[in-house]
Amino acid sequence: MKWLVTGGAGYIGAHIVRALNTAGHDVVVLDDLSTGLRRKVSEGVPFIQASILDTDAVTSALRTGLIDGVVHLAAKKSVEESVHNPHLYFEQNVLGMMSLLDAVKAAQIHHFVLSSSAAIYGSPDGQRVSEDTTPLPVNPYGQTKLAQEWLLADLVNSGYDLSWTALRYFNVAGAGADDLGDTGVFNLIPMVLRALDQGQAPQVFGDSYPTPDGTCVRDYIHVQDLADAHVAAVAHVESGSRSSVFNVGRGLGFSVLEVLDAVRAVLGRSFDHQIAPARAGDPASLVAAVGRIDTELRFSAHRDLTDMVASAWSAWQAFPPR
């Protein structure tokens, strides 16, 4: 089968493209390069520069590329930005998904893997969240990712034949190769590295959350493990599996201060941090229950927090973000 990866020039998408290629899948990348980088798409991988909001362009890509399935990552993904500009997030993430699904129907595509998010869970009670936890998103980003899952489910309920899986990512970090590092400014580890590069103390947003040290707790997963989860998900839907959702994490929580300590250990240097006001839309704790993906997809993450920080630092040194 041949897969179209939307957002395949982005941080996560580029890792997924390489993992799918390594596993023997043919891949075509579609990306508008609003945040992605053309250099992250390996030589020989067909590339189409287009927005998922352009239904005709996506339909043409699906038809002319003889595509069998879609892995959909193209979306806006900053919680903080979504709070300040919700209209943009509903336009890009929800209207974009509607446009993509119109193209999927027009091209008669019957396999779909969705990049979803743990943000759909909102602020649970501190326990590990399972796929059966009621989604209660507390920010527009999470709302738009939940709406994407609803759109897929509603498409199937309307009678369209679609085998689909949604992977609910927890916090993604690290790099699978130096040239695929995270060049964005929204994730914790690159935010810390950028502050240190600029001679500044990294900011910690809030220290009075109901967590052991007062800072937010998250489940961190290495981006290469996440890419491997997509390979398993693609095989799952290729086999004809019907609708399903899976958490993708490690089942372990680390606070912001614990991540800063991991950065200090990997870099071999001490540094201070500053406490800044808590950001709107940030839940106190999000940690995954990962039994379902282990049982049904035979997938489990095996890279730890040190691996994430060390690989992120290596990529940062090799390709410093500008």
Nearest to residue 189, comparing CAs of 207, 168, 171? 171
Look at the domain 174-218+251-318 and name its fold.
Answer: UDP-galactose 4-epimerase; domain 1 (3.90.25)
Q: Where are the domains of the chain?
A: 2-172+220-248, 174-218+251-318
Residue 89 annotated among the catalytic residues of the structure: no
Whole-model pTM?
Answer: 0.96
Catalytic option among 89, 141, 169, 209? 141
CA dihedral 94, 95, 97, 100 (to 10 degrees): 180
pLDDT per 10-residue tile (average), the chain, 322 residues: 97 98 97 96 96 98 96 95 96 98 98 97 86 95 98 97 97 97 90 95 96 96 98 95 92 97 98 95 93 96 97 94 73
221-265 pLDDT, tens digit each: 999 999 999 999 999 999 988 789 999 999 999 999 999 999 999
Look at the domain 2-172+220-248 and name its fold.
Answer: Rossmann fold (3.40.50)
